[in-house]
């Protein structure tokens, strides 16, 4: 019999989607927020540390501003988020106060986690809050985020936060019962996937298209989030937030929804940070020899193995490494700028000083600054 991985987990990230915290997009559902706060309070009594990733700010802002529909203009969405964040944090603080708990608002963009110093600062703040028995309530900082620094959806954000704080399990609550073998709304033979490997490539095909039209993330984003969370050894549970006391039941060991299990070893913190970059400053296309040297030999990347350069990056920025077919197999911190890399392309490391007039490092990317993907 399958038992919920939440029962044995101490540090848990819970993500609740828009459909579970809003009245069909018409502002916040305060009764729902009260129920979430009550369940999280029960988990706290069980000795668990909880970080909550919650949607709802834009929907609340739209309602407060009296708009009839969700706008498309970025500046209007950012304005709605700014107004809505006030209501979201007030509501959560009020709900948690009823249980003798404090909430803290944390707003993040990808830029916060792509800069090493800010990444460590965010981690330190979250760990400190957990130690103070505070419930961090996290959302994407939609007020300032642009497409270039967006996570794109709170499923991805929740996975990155799980990596950030070294959480044991990510619980993604949605309006669906879990991951099904096909869309249950269209296929009567679709069955629930109760347990699977987070890295199983077959899951992407099962995930299909989008779910609720209230939020941005469909089932595919949840499957990809589980895969990302697994990089730090965290399991993921995808379950319906409409199940009565779903968090409490999971914490007591009841298997609800879909469990996607991590099977890879935890990445070292620095390589995990590299893996978490969503936007690269550029890409390097490698020849077959370089691909084998990285994936089989565990070697550093040398300039002689690079066939093409895309982007305009500087020394020390994160770039993707692509195989000849264009699939990303690794990413890392590059030792030379794009302009310099173009000059030493397909040349041996021993030629770098002659070409550039200096040699910083013999490797284009050192293996200690390189993370490989499956």
Residues 156 and 292 grouped into a single domain: no
Asked if residue 5 is part of any domain, the answer here is no
Q: What is the pLDDT of residue 97?
A: 97
Residues 65 and 22 grouped into a single domain: yes
Q: Which residue among 221, 238, 271 closes a domain?
A: 271
Question: For residues 243-253, b (16+ Cβ closer than 10 Å) or e, as one string?
Answer: eeebbbbbbee
Q: What is the pLDDT of residue 94?
A: 96
Q: CATH number of the domain that 321 lies in?
A: 2.30.130.10
Q: What is the pLDDT of residue 69?
A: 86
Q: How many CA atoms lie within 13 A of 152 on its CB side?
A: 14
Q: Which residue among 244, 271, 298 closes a domain?
A: 271
Q: How far apart are CA 366 and CA 200, in angstroms?
A: 29
Q: Which residue among 252, 271, 290 closes a domain?
A: 271
Is 222:172 a contact under the CB 8 Å cutoff?
yes
Helix (H, G, I), strand (E, B), or coil: what is residue 37?
helix
Residues 305 and 325 grouped into a single domain: yes
Q: CATH number of the domain that 151 lies in?
A: 3.40.1160.10
Residues 225 and 160 grouped into a single domain: yes
Q: Taking Cα atoms as reference points, which of 33, 279, 281 lies closest to residue 156?
A: 279
Q: What is the pLDDT of residue 213?
A: 38
Residues 6+ apart with CB under 8 A from 97: none
Domain count, the chain: 2
Determine which helix (DSSP H) or strand (DSSP E) holds 179, and give its type and residue range.
none
Q: How far apart are CA 311 and CA 370, in angstroms?
A: 18
Asked if residue 6 is part of any domain, the answer here is no
Tens-digit pLDDT string for the chain (374 aa): 689 999 999 999 999 988 899 887 678 999 999 999 999 999 999 999 999 999 888 889 999 999 988 888 888 888 988 999 999 999 999 999 999 999 999 998 877 887 888 888 999 999 999 999 999 999 887 676 655 445 567 898 999 999 999 999 999 999 889 999 888 878 888 899 999 999 898 898 888 754 443 344 588 999 999 999 998 889 999 999 999 999 999 999 999 999 999 986 677 777 888 888 777 889 999 999 999 999 999 999 999 999 999 999 999 889 999 999 999 999 999 999 999 999 999 999 999 999 999 888 899 999 988 999 86
Look up the domain containing 325 and give its range.
280-372
């Amino acid at each position: 019999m399958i038992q919920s991985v939440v029962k044995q987990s101490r540090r848990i990230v819970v993500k609740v989607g828009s459909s579970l915290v809003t009245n069909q997009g018409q502002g916040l559902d305060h009764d729902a927020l009260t129920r979430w706060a009550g369940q999280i309070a029960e988990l706290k009594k069980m000795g668990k540390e909880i970080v909550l990733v919650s949607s709802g700010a834009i929907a609340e802002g739209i309602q407060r501003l009296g708009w009839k529909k969700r706008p498309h203009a970025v500046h209007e969405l950012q304005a709605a988020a700014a107004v809505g964040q006030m209501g979201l944090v007030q509501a959560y603080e009020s709900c948690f106060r009823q249980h003798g708990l404090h909430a803290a608002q944390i707003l993040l963009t990808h830029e916060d986690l792509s800069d090493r110093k800010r990444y460590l600062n965010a981690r330190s703040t979250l760990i400190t809050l957990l130690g103070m028995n505070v419930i961090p309530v996290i959302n994407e900082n939609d007020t300032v985020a642009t497409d270039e620094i967006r996570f794109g959806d709170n499923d991805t954000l929740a996975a990155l936060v799980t990596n950030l704080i070294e959480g044991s399990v990510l619980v993604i609550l949605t309006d669906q019962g879990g991951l099904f073998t096909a869309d249950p709304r269209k296929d009567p033979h679709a069955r629930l996937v109760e347990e699977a490997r987070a890295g199983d490539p077959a899951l992407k095909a099962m995930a299909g298209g989008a779910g609720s039209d209230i939020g941005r993330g469909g089932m595919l984003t949840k499957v990809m989030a589980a895969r990302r969370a697994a990089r730090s050894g965290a399991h993921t549970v995808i379950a319906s937030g409409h199940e009565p006391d779903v968090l409490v039941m999971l914490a007591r060991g009841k298997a609800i929804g879909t469990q996607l299990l991590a099977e890879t070893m935890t990445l070292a913190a620095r390589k995990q940070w590299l893996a978490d970059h969503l936007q690269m400053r550029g890409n390097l296309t490698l020849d077959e020899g370089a691909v084998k040297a990285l994936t089989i030999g565990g070697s550093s990347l040398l300039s002689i193995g690079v066939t093409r350069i895309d982007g305009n990056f500087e020394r020390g920025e994160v770039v993707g490494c692509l195989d000849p077919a264009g699939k990303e197999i690794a990413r890392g911190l590059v030792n030379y700028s794009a302009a310099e890399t173009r000059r030493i392309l397909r040349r041996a490391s021993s030629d770098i000083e002659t070409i550039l007039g200096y040699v910083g490092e013999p490797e284009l990317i050192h293996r200690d600054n390189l993370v490989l993907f499956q």
